[in-house]
Structure 1
Amino acid sequence: MSKKILLGMSGGVDSSVAALLLLQQGYQVTGVTMRLRPDEYMCDSQSGGCCSLDDIDDARRVCYRLGIEHLVMNFTDSFRRDVIDPFAREYQAGRTPNPCIDCNRYLKFSELLRRAEQLGFDGVATGHYAIVRQNEQGRWLLYRSPTGKDQSYVLYSMTQYQLARTLFPLSDLEKPLVRQMAEEAGLPVAKKPDSQEICFVENKDYAGFIRRYTGQDPQPGDFVDLDGNVLGQHRGITHYTVGQRKGLGISFPQPMYVVRIDAANHRVVLGKEGSQYSSSLIAGDLNWIAFDEPPAELLVQAKVRYQAQPAPARIISLPEGRVQVLFEEPQRAITPGQAVVFYQDDLVVGGGTIFE
């Protein structure tokens, strides 16, 4: 008997073609759209976002076209607890989180998988571009997709249990081919734009969202240079992130960059050109995929943000489950709160959260 798969469907073209491919491969497929945003953040549509009411309707129409069942599951409480609350806390603490990683970690490959198993499904699938394989020793491994849409960076937190029960049908397909397949199959989302923004924040106004969500106005403070000299006043630390140059609200004779955010003293530290680069970082909250525990030293290519290129680095194990990452070449805007993901060629070795 063919396996029963619960496919997470966002209403976009990727998850829609994933449904098509799973059916062609002989799986019994049920589509599910996860309702994530609480009512106050729901809307009919959001340009560049996801999880809107229109997206739910799009997923339903695709399932109808393919002749499969479509479910909507309410995850709003978990999304608020595990994604939105930490997002607001981290920004207020002077860090820059990646809520898409938390959504994958706690919702798509944890809560959704748990519900799928309760309903008798054999596993879950999504429209992510990444590759899962099992090696000869029985260990499940995650690899980068060779396409321009590789999304392995946001999947580094997956466990052996989750990898063994997850399918990524798009794996090594190029995006133009995916759109072509959707159009040839008559799927109504074939030309729908990709999601670009954080789904619960409109117009990338992070500071405005945090102010409305927490009910707390950002506290102004000092811009200071690397020596602690006061350069001017800022609007509140939630308006800034490491590496930022534009939108500081104050002019200087030469370009100045946010080098560090001192939340305890409500200060934003600025530096001249070159100061936004660093040759090392400390990371924690680590998840290893390629092995259970890392060796004392490990050579990898490390990626410090989703759009960054992996850079040669050496990992040194530290006490309390942390690591130091030493880069061969300085990296731009290493940002506390973001993820650092470790690769060996296309293999995702593991990753963690940048602490400093």
Structure 2
Amino acid sequence: CGRLGVRHYYKNAAPLFRKTVIAPFEAAYSAGRTPNPCVACNRHMKFSYLLDLAREMGAEALFTGHYARLEGEGPSRALLRGADPDKDQSYFLYCIPRENLGAIKFPLGGMKKTEVRARAAELGLRAAREKESRDICFAGEGDYGEWLAASGGGGKPGDIVDRGGRVLGRHRGVAFYTVGQRRGLNVAGGERLYVTGIDPVRNEVRVGTADEASVRSFRVSGYNDISGDGLAGAAVQIRYRQKPVSCSVKREGELLEVSLDSAVFGAAPGQSAVFYRGDRVLGGGIIEI
């Protein structure tokens, strides 16, 4: 802040962060789901709590370093993928309330990461030399399962079973696994096996073939309509960096029923499903199987 000539303010948001990000993360894994804490942080912390603070201070807008773009003004303002396809973060931003888009700026969205680093070096900023991290910020480096286990949320060892209920091995605790996972299963068998489901009540991890870990349809809860433009002609993305798949969507009460033009691998309950039309983010919600 001193180098840039801007004031620095300190606010203790740790209790809110634990309530809205960490606690739901722990509860989801204990329930056999795969949460996305970055989405929860964006929804509750950056673009709610932090935006409210900016408004209280009389700031004209909240600027963040996300690699995404915003175009247009007023009701037509749209969230788009970032110009750098390798760093695009729009997948994590679908949860922003549409009415808040006008108060947000993403100055890096039209730049490549290499350009940003070069500019940071010109300004003598430490960020130009820092290593990128893809770990969950509050869990530190390494396996989040170990962090959950250390905090008492890893679960107890149990059986790994196939579709017919035959025991193939033992798991470390349901929090160490997610649908589509292969690493760390340590089960005998000639074919490649993947996690196809998690039953926290029976404390079982189910495994099967790649086909059995793939789906052609799923439901979405808690849909946030960030575009107001409907879902006709949409494609859905179920993981960061995964290629979107064309789909058709219909609403069933509070849920969306998503039918895919081709099967997707590893759709896990609790993950985010984000809908795009070209580069534009239409909205998103949470996968329910």
**TM, length-normalised to structure 2:** 0.94
Counterpart residue number, 2:224? 287
Is this contact kept in 2: 1:299–1:315, CA < 8 A? no
Please report how far the alpha carbon of residue 221 of structure 1 lies from its aligned counterpart in structure 2 after TM superposition.
2.0
SS of the equivalent of 2:75 reads coil
User: Are 1:245 and 2:154 counterparts?
Assistant: no
Query: Displacement, 1:217?
Result: 6.0
Which of 119, 122, 128 aligns to 2:60? It is 122
Structure-2 change in CA distance of 1:217 and 1:110 (3 Å): closer
Deviations 1:150-203 (A, max 9, x none): 110000011122211000011110111111111122223212122210011133
After TM superposition, the structure 1 stretch with the greater mean CA deviation from structure 2, 141-150 or 303-312, is 141-150
Q: Please show how residues 158-197 of structure 1 align to structure 2 within 5 Å.
A: 158-197=96-135
- What is the correspondence of 1:34-113 to structure 2 with a 5 Å cutoff? 63-113=1-51
- Give the Cα–Cα distance (whole angstroms) in 2 for the partners of residues 217 and 131 of structure 1: 37
The answer to whether the aligner puts 1:259 opposite 2:196 as a matched pair is yes
Runs of 4+ in 1 over 3 A off after TM superposition: none
Task: Report the equivalent of 2:241.
Answer: 307
Amino acid of the structure 2 residue aligned with 1:310: P
**Paired residue type of 1:337:** G
What is the deviation of 1:253? 2.1
Q: 1:283 to 1:72 in 2, by over 3 A?
A: same
Alpha-carbon distance in structure 1 between the residues aligned to 2:154 and 2:118: 47
Q: Are 2:211 and 1:277 equivalent residues in the alignment?
A: no
Identify which range, 154-163 or 65-74, moves more after superposition. Answer: 65-74
* Distance in 2 separating the partners of 1:207 and 1:322: 30
Q: Is 1:139 equivalent to 2:72 in the alignment?
A: no
| In structure 1, C-alpha distance between the alignment counterparts of 2:78 and 2:131, rounded to whole Å | 31
Kindly state the Cα deviation for residue 216 of structure 1 after the two structures are TM-superposed: 5.3
Amino acid at match of 1:283: V
Q: Structure 1 325/211 Cα, relative in aligned 2: closer, same or farther at 3 Å?
A: same
Equivalent residue, structure 2, for 1:355: 288
Contact 1:139 1:160 in 2 (8 A): no
TM-aligned CA distance change 1:255 to 1:150, over 3 Å: same
Separation in structure 1 between the aligned mates of residue 145 and residue 58 of structure 2, nearest angstrom: 42
Cα offset, 1:279, TM superposition:
1.0
- Secondary structure of 2:54's counterpart equals helix
Alignment partner, residue 140 of structure 2? 202
Bigger mean CA offset, 98-107 vs 177-186: 177-186
State the alpha-carbon separation in 2 of the partners of residues 276 and 216 from structure 1: 25
Contact 1:279/1:327 (<8 A) preserved: yes
- Are the counterparts in 2 of residues 259 and 270 from structure 1 also a CA contact under 8 Å? yes
Question: What is the identity, as a one-letter code, of the residue corresponding to 2:267?
Answer: I
The alpha carbon displacement at 1:271 in A equals 0.2
Give the superposed CA RMSD: 1.7
- Aligned 1:207-218 pairs, distance under 5 A: 207-213=145-151, 215=152, 218=155
Cross-structure match for 1:336: 269
- Taking only the aligned residue pairs, the percentage that are identical comes to 38
Provide closer, same or farther for how the CA distance between residues 202 and 68 of structure 1 changes in structure 2, counting only shifts above 3 A. closer
Q: Tell me, in whole angstroms, the C-alpha distance in 2 between the residues paired with 1:217 and 1:299.
A: 40
Cα deviation per residue 1:32-66 (whole Å; 9 max; x = unaligned)?
Answer: xxxxxxxxxxxxxxxxxxxxxxxxxxxxxxx2112
Higher mean C-alpha displacement, 197-206 vs 171-180: 197-206
Count of aligned positions: 288
1:296-322 C-alpha deviation (Å, 9 max, x unpaired):
xx3311100112111111112111x21
Q: 2-side partners of 1:290 and 1:138: how far apart? A: 9
TM-score by length of 1: 0.77
The 2-side partners of 1:220 and 1:125 are apart by 45
